[in-house]
């Protein structure tokens, strides 16, 4: 009896030690707590196309397609070459001469590990938006509103702009796939750059509370229906030091968007996809890079709702032809054009092509990423340019992240799915596996975490919607469980994926362990489903999205283990808009809601995004009025917590302030919390406080 008791006690200890709960703090800070699948750190291809490196225990390791990894350097050896200490092995890349390159303290180091020598290149102090041309070593950068070039150790200005005119930065508030503001031609002899004139855009006040007294920080924020920035494109000649500007001719005095800037391979022409202010038309134009004059309109695309080009031109090596990505036929496809704009052929994918990776070494094929038949996945495809046929190269179900070698002969294929935490392997250009580099263990193996399920729900018109459910580990179908619905449902975001944990952040698993079901559904308007699926919400944001979220609720109510009287909803940004919409326009469905950084009135949101999906307030006053959540505050049932970062420059605080004013006018009580000195998202250790507040509020109400 005593032996049995001791054995049972030891089993209990063993079970306790191997089955630990995940706290909210651990979940939010999960990457630092090793709660996410491991992978090869700092994995980089070398220039020979079949050799790669990675960092392991402070050692730089080299490995090929055959054989085992070998050490080629260590942090200590690198320190000896450089003559100073390093906290860790630096983030690096390999240049065309096989040198290890990294940046530190405004210096770019190029290290020859074999010869144990290095060179440095000084980077300008206070420089932002740096853009290096590797071939010439010239660097352009911004300081204040102006653009500069640093070459041969000397800095000189490219622009001399007045206050309010900014050069060399991303424009259009990062819409249309714009991520930067400078573009070198292949030879490094000319530089094209974006410039925006914001002098007529209204100043918007933000307050910094980190000093005494607090400081006013004005930003330029063009709201829907108001004046926007004026875009231009400059071309700088490195040799002459002169700058010309592209002549947009009839569009010069109009507000338009200059997007998807590209260079011809010979550096003679600059191409710009010009999108009109109403975003119904895109005109692809060719300009002379020496004079700035319009050479030709290659083609244009029109749509009754909106066009949204997000990719530059991709010129086919050795041919006067290029590929263009457009969803004009329903899904993002590749269209092959002559350099003069004549359509030759196209792919016929029935799913969106989301990313273009590059061309094969012989120029006969290219490689792209897309979902394939399952919209919750992401795969590598090879496109045969002779007939534009596509073949899928990644065979395993799931979400694949691909990094090609320099010659596109081999690819790092890092993938996961619902049952696979992570695999890193090498495949070739035919999709055949060459080597498995790393298989990640399940970091939640010894944690108490419930089952994650991917589900399918139908919208009112039969459209398939993808959903995800997280249950507690001790789930009992005979019990009734409260539910938290996490929502976004806006453009360019997909929450549900066939990836590790279903794409869910770990706080959802932690919350589920407290006896909740956590449910998410990607309704119409969300990404990766094609033009019709996303455009279905045009001009009436909130309507169809709510219908699809409520179809998710109906599905939940059909389950005998769901307590439909204890349901909560939470979301951020567009998800905050959806959370507030569901609480106000469908009162009684949810007992509690928490809306973070919510859009309340689309009149207050930025021009580029809002007028794409809602048209302008002048053209669509009914849509704006219907979506204005201040009109529904008197319908609130249940508890509602609104959260905002006081320095939010994306969804400005005016949204929440106007909503609170409306609540006061109607005598409606809500709760409100501000995160000082935070922009649109609350990150770092403060996010632990945020998620604790959100989930405690929901628990108290349910």
Catalytic residue set: 573, 648, 680
Q: What distance in Å separates the CA atoms of residue 622 and residue 542, rounded to the nearest whole number?
A: 13
* CA-based nearest residue to 517, from 573, 476, 554: 476
Q: For residue 88, give the H/E element and its range.
A: none
* CA-based nearest residue to 138, from 50, 39, 241, 230: 241
- Residues 6+ away with beta carbon under 8 Å from 492: 527
Terminal-residue alpha carbon distance, the chain: 45
Q: What distance in Å separates the CA atoms of residue 333 and residue 617, rounded to the nearest whole number?
A: 32
* CA-based nearest residue to 394, from 366, 416, 363, 421: 416
CB 98 within 8 A of CB 53: no
* CA-based nearest residue to 308, from 351, 257, 367: 257
Q: For residue 397, give the H/E element and its range.
A: none
Q: What distance in Å separates the CA atoms of residue 415 and residue 404, rounded to the nearest whole number?
A: 14
Q: What distance in Å separates the CA atoms of residue 695 and residue 681, rounded to the nearest whole number?
A: 17
- Backbone φ and ψ for 373, nearest 5 degrees, come out as -70, -25
* Alpha-carbon torsion (598, 603, 607, 611), positive or negative: positive
Count of residues making up the chain: 702
According to DSSP, the residues that pair with 196 across neighbouring strands are 166, 231
* CA-based nearest residue to 101, from 125, 132, 143, 57: 132
Q: What distance in Å separates the CA atoms of residue 312 and residue 271, rounded to the nearest whole number?
A: 9
What is the DSSP-derived secondary structure letter of residue 457?
A: E
């Amino acid at each position: 009896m005593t032996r049995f008791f001791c054995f049972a006690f030891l089993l209990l200890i063993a079970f306790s030690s191997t089955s630990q709960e995940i706290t909210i703090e651990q979940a939010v800070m999960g990457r630092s707590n090793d709660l996410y699948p491991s992978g090869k750190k700092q994995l980089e291809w070398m220039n020979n196309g079949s050799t790669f490196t990675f960092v392991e225990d402070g050692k730089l390791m080299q490995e090929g397609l055959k054989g085992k990894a070998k050490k080629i350097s260590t942090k200590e050896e690198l320190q000896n070459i450089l003559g100073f200490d390093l906290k860790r092995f630096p983030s690096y890349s390999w240049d065309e001469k096989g040198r290890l390159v990294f940046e530190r303290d405004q210096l770019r180091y190029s290290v020859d590990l074999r010869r144990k020598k290095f060179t440095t290149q000084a980077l300008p102090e206070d420089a932002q938006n740096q853009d290096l041309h590797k071939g010439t070593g010239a660097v352009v950068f911004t300081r204040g509103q102006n653009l500069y070039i640093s070459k041969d150790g000397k800095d000189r200005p490219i622009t001399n702009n007045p206050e309010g005119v900014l050069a060399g930065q991303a424009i259009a508030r990062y819409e249309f796939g714009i991520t930067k503001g400078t573009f070198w031609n292949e030879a490094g002899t000319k530089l094209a750059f974006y410039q925006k004139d914001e002098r007529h855009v209204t100043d918007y006040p933000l307050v910094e509370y980190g000093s005494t007294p607090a400081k006013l920080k004005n930003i330029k924020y063009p709201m829907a229906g108001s004046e926007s920035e004026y875009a231009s494109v400059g071309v700088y000649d490195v040799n002459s030091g002169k700058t010309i500007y592209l002549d947009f001719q009839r569009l010069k005095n109009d507000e338009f968007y200059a997007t998807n800037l590209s260079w011809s391979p010979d550096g003679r022409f600059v191409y710009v996809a010009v999108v009109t202010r109403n975003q119904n038309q895109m005109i692809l134009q060719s300009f002379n890079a020496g004079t700035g004059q319009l050479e030709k309109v290659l083609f244009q695309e029109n749509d009754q709702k909106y066009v949204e080009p997000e990719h530059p031109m991709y010129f086919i090596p050795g041919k006067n032809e290029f590929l263009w990505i457009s969803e004009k036929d329903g899904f993002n496809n590749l269209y092959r054009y002559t350099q003069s704009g004549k359509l030759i052929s196209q792919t016929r994918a029935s799913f969106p092509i989301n990313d273009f990776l590059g061309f094969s070494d012989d120029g006969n094929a290219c490689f792209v990423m897309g979902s394939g038949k399952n919209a919750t996945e992401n795969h590598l495809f090879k496109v045969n340019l002779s007939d534009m046929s596509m073949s899928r190269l990644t065979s395993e179900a799931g979400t694949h992240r691909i990094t090609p070698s320099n010659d596109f002969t081999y690819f790092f294929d890092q993938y996961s799915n619902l049952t696979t935490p992570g695999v890193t392997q090498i495949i070739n250009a035919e999709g055949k596996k060459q080597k498995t580099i790393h298989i990640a263990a399940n970091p939640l193996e010894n944690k108490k975490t419930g089952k994650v399920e991917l589900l399918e729900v139908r919208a009112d018109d039969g459209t398939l919607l993808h959903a995800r459910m997280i249950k507690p580990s001790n789930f009992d179908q005979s019990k009734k469980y409260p539910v938290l619905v996490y929502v976004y449902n806006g453009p360019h975001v997909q929450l549900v994926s066939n990836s590790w944990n279903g794409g869910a952040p770990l706080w959802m698993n932690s919350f589920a362990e407290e006896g909740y079901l956590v449910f998410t559904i990607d309704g119409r308007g969300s990404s990766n489903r094609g033009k019709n699926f996303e455009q279905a919400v045009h001009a009436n944001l909130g309507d169809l999205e709510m219908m699809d979220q409520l179809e998710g609720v109906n599905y939940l109510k059909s389950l005998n283990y769901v307590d439909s009287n204890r349901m909560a909803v939470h979301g951020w940004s567009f998800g905050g808009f959806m959370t507030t919409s569901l609480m106000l326009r469908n009162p009684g469905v949810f007992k509690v809601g928490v809306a973070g950084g919510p859009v309340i009135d689309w009149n207050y949101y930025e021009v580029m995004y809002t007028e794409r999906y809602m048209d302008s307030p002048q053209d669509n006053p009914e849509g704006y009025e219907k979506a204005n959540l201040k009109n529904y505050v008197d319908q609130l049932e249940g508890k509602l917590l609104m959260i905002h970062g006081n320095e939010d420059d994306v969804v400005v605080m005016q949204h929440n302030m106007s909503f609170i004013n409306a609540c006061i006018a109607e005598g409606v009580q809500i709760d409100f919390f501000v995160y000082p000195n935070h922009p649109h998202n609350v990150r770092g250790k403060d996010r632990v406080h945020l998620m604790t507040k959100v989930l405690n509020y929901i628990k108290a109400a349910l």
